A and B are shown apart, each in its own frame.
Chain A
Amino acid sequence: MTPGDRGVPEETVKGRPPLWNRHVVEDIWNKATLGRYRIQGGATRLRVPCFDDLTFVPCTLSRLPLEGYRERCETRTVLGNRVASKPIVLDRPITIAGMSYGALSKTAKTALGTAATRLGISTTTGDGGMLTEERAASHLLVYQVLPSRYGFDPAHLKMADAIEIVIGQGAKPGTGGLLLGAKVSPVIAEQRTLPEGVDQRSPVRHPDFIGPDDLQIKIEELREATNWEKPIYVKMGASRVSDDVKLAVKAGADVIVLDGLEGATGASPEILLDHTAIPTMSALVEAVRALEELRVLGEVQLVISGGIKNGADAAKALALGADAVSIGTAALTAMGADAPNYVDEFHQLGYEPGDGSMWHTGLDPTGIATQDPELEARLDLEQAADRVFNFIAAMTLELQMLARACGKADVHDLEPEDMRALTFEASMITGIPLAGTDFVLTPDAIAARVAAILTKGGLTGQAER
């Protein structure tokens, strides 16, 4: 029997239109059930221009490399030495990003601090304040001052090694944090002064300042409160980067922490993950340009985050002008997040191991992004710390290897000239020539080429006609 025999027109067009693919249809069905936006953990699913669109062009005959496995390559990094009497000195240009006790279990937070201490790097608190165990485990701990001020304690501020004023994050710039009720356990509720089990939606604006002029006063207050000892970081989601960086510098920031579109979070409206912020690489380029315009590049340090996943990303970020990178998802993944050890439980939650998007449920089978004591007990602190240590140690070796191949005895000496772009987009964004050409496809460069052609008269006649 043919379709025509059943009354179905033979000319029926088959196949789903790309616009209405399976994910789009599922998204609509989901919202039709929920009556609100979807919420998920992790980062955007979109492919955006990123550091993978750049490649290094190491030394050959025209440049002299360092011995990749032997010669010294410095990684020491100093942050916040402009005003503070006690700047942060890192053994390597990598920091662990702010992630809250609440989004993460106590064991996970403590493991991050333990690993960071062994690595000579810093870790960062998060919404909800400072965890006693985290402070004890962390040699260098950055204390976040967030809009919610959940768990904020001036005594903890004084115990910190640096202060990070959070204006926003790359996963959801312009919107506050989110912690669904499953994670607001009795302990978390008490720490944040919230009712137990409430869906906590953090404010996005600080309660006591609004704009950059206010921020300047706030920064002075924090310096006064801590005897002008501690560097003040200002963390922002990558939005109007050039203006934002300039305003933060004017307000007195010692360190700019810039979190790009690829930055992850414990929970967010999905629509914000995919449709807000600019990519990390783009943000970095804009920020460096802004610091150059203010003539403070190197004086005000720049830490970049959002999707940093290996030593190559770190090397490319440093080559573009970052002083350090900050990692979150990579550290959690190293610890065992999304590992395929509990496949059935992932399936019960409706996810596959590796989806990286079930952190908002509070039921993370790996014990990392949960407040469930039984799940948390699965995470062995020492093993978790070892894995994070190993990953960041490996990441550092990758970074050094690339720097040595480019002939650099200090990872901070990497520069744009060490790279070529693999895509038109990356070339236009970074100003780095497209591989195989000497083209620099920035708008200014294109304008200059057109001007050069016109000067030679090549297009003059046409233009006149």
Chain B
Amino acid sequence: MAQVTTFAPIVDCAELTTREINQAIRVLCDEGSADICVTNPSARHNLAVALVTGSKILFDGPVGWYAAGMNDGAHVVVNGNCGWGVAECMMSGRVEVNGHAGSGTAASIRGGLVYVAGNAGARAGIAMKGGTLVVGGDVGYMSGFMMQRGTMVVGGDAADGLGDSMYEGVIYIAGSIASLGADAIEAPLTDEDLATLKQIADEFGMPQTPDDFRRIEAGRQLWTFSTKEPELWRAAL
């Protein structure tokens, strides 16, 4: 589990508004604090959003929706669970959740890395446009929906509709898949895939070996309108 130094400045949320918490974090980032510890976040929404910094921010407890949303560069660690949309639309940086995450985890991220040690809810990795999402546990319904680019790694199982309507990108999954979504297909692992998976499994201490994973990608049948696959289109449209 990631830690910050014991000398890190502390922002105690207990008596502060969301506005005041975020302002305090930004001031510390602007002052060059490498590590910032935020205590008593109490599942408050919209914490550490739209940061442009290289600082590391540790939330010592659960956070609410959109934690580290629109992040650009910060290393955010949550020692607890988080709500919907963690790291949504992230451009760069790193967000680690040492707990479970709600729906829409890493929605529409364009870069950076999101790691969820536990499970993630529905629509994990929805509309990803780049970056990497690693979920140690399970992912919910329609995860990877309309994924455009990037990499999603799932150590556990996936609920229905995995990878529905993907444009591009790749999903690696070690557990079971309740069902694939429209136009999502399984493809053989390449040597490059295996190397990527080994690196990720090693970095996050995942118990799986690269061979445990399957590769899911777009079948590309939905890229253009066609009358040749009427049933696929009926389901997809």
Contact = CB atoms under 8 A, between A and B. Distances in A.
Interface of A: 34-36, 148-149, 152-155, 157-158, 180-181, 192-195, 197-199, 203, 207-209, 214, 217-218, 220-221, 224-226, 228
B85 to A, nearest CB: 4
A175 to B, nearest CB: 10
Nearest to A36: B225
A221 B148 CA distance: 24
B120 to A, nearest CB: 13
Given A155-B72, A207-B108, A208-B88, A221 B127 contact: no
Contacts of A225: 49-50, 69-70
Given A34-B227, A195-B223, A208-B69, 20 more contacts: A152-B108, A154-B52, A154-B70, A157-B70, A180-B225, A193-B149, A195-B167, A198-B224, A199-B223, A199-B225, A203-B145, A207-B107, A207-B108, A220-B18, A221-B49, A221-B66, A224-B18, A224-B46, A224-B49, A225-B70
A154 B53 CA distance: 13
A152 B66 contact: no
A208 B72 contact: no
Contacts of A195: 167-168, 223
B108 A221 contact: no
Interface string B219-233: 000011101001001
Interface of A is mostly: loop
B172 interface: no
A148 B127 contact: yes
A214 B66 CA distance: 11
Contacts of B233: 36
A224 B146 CA distance: 28
B50 A154 contact: yes
Nearest to A145: B89
Contacts of B198: none
- List the 3 shortest-distance A-B pairs measured between CB atoms, nearest first: A35-B227, A225-B50, A208-B85
B97 interface: no
A308 B148 CA distance: 36
A363 B169 CA distance: 30
B81 interface: no
Contacts of B108: 149, 152, 207-208
Contact of B123 (A152, A158, A207, A217): A207
A157 B127 contact: no
Contacts of A35: 227, 230
A276 B188 CA distance: 44
A278 B192 CA distance: 53
Contacts of B64: 217
Contacts of B168: 195
Interface string B80-119: 0000110011010000000000001001101000000000
A193 B50 CA distance: 21
Given A193-B110, A194-B148, A195-B167, A207 B104 contact: yes
A36 B227 contact: yes
A259 to B, nearest CB: 23
Interface string B14-48: 00001100100000000000000000000001100
B70 A198 contact: no
B166 to A, nearest CB: 11
A152 B88 CA distance: 11
A194 B146 CA distance: 11
13 contacts: A149-B89, A153-B91, A180-B225, A193-B149, A195-B167, A197-B224, A203-B127, A207-B127, A217-B45, A220-B45, A221-B49, A221-B69, A228-B19
A214 B88 CA distance: 14
Most buried by A among B66, B84, B91: B66
A208 B87 CA distance: 10
Given A154-B91, A208-B88, A217-B66, A198 B146 contact: no
B155 interface: no
B129 interface: yes
A285 B87 CA distance: 40
Contacts of B50: 154, 157-158, 224-226
Interface in B186-220: none
Nearest to B66: A221
A221 B225 contact: no
Nearest to B65: A217
A424 B49 CA distance: 52
A97 B145 CA distance: 29
B114 to A, nearest CB: 13
A251 to B, nearest CB: 13
A154 B225 CA distance: 32
A207 B90 CA distance: 13
B43 to A, nearest CB: 12
A224 B224 contact: no
Contacts of B65: 214, 217, 221
A157 B88 CA distance: 14
B69 A207 contact: no
B130 interface: yes
Most buried by B among A148, A158, A181, A225: A225
Contacts of A36: 225, 227, 233, 237
B46 A193 contact: no
Nearest to B233: A36
Contact of B45 (A148, A155, A199, A221): A221
B126 interface: yes
Nearest to B110: A193
Contacts of B129: 149, 193
A225 B46 CA distance: 9
A35 B227 CA distance: 6
Nearest to B126: A207
B7 to A, nearest CB: 27
Contacts of A203: 127, 145-146
A199 B146 contact: no
Contacts of B230: 35
B184 to A, nearest CB: 16
Nearest to B21: A224
A310 B17 CA distance: 47
Contacts of A207: 85, 88, 104, 107-108, 123, 126-127
Nearest to B237: A36
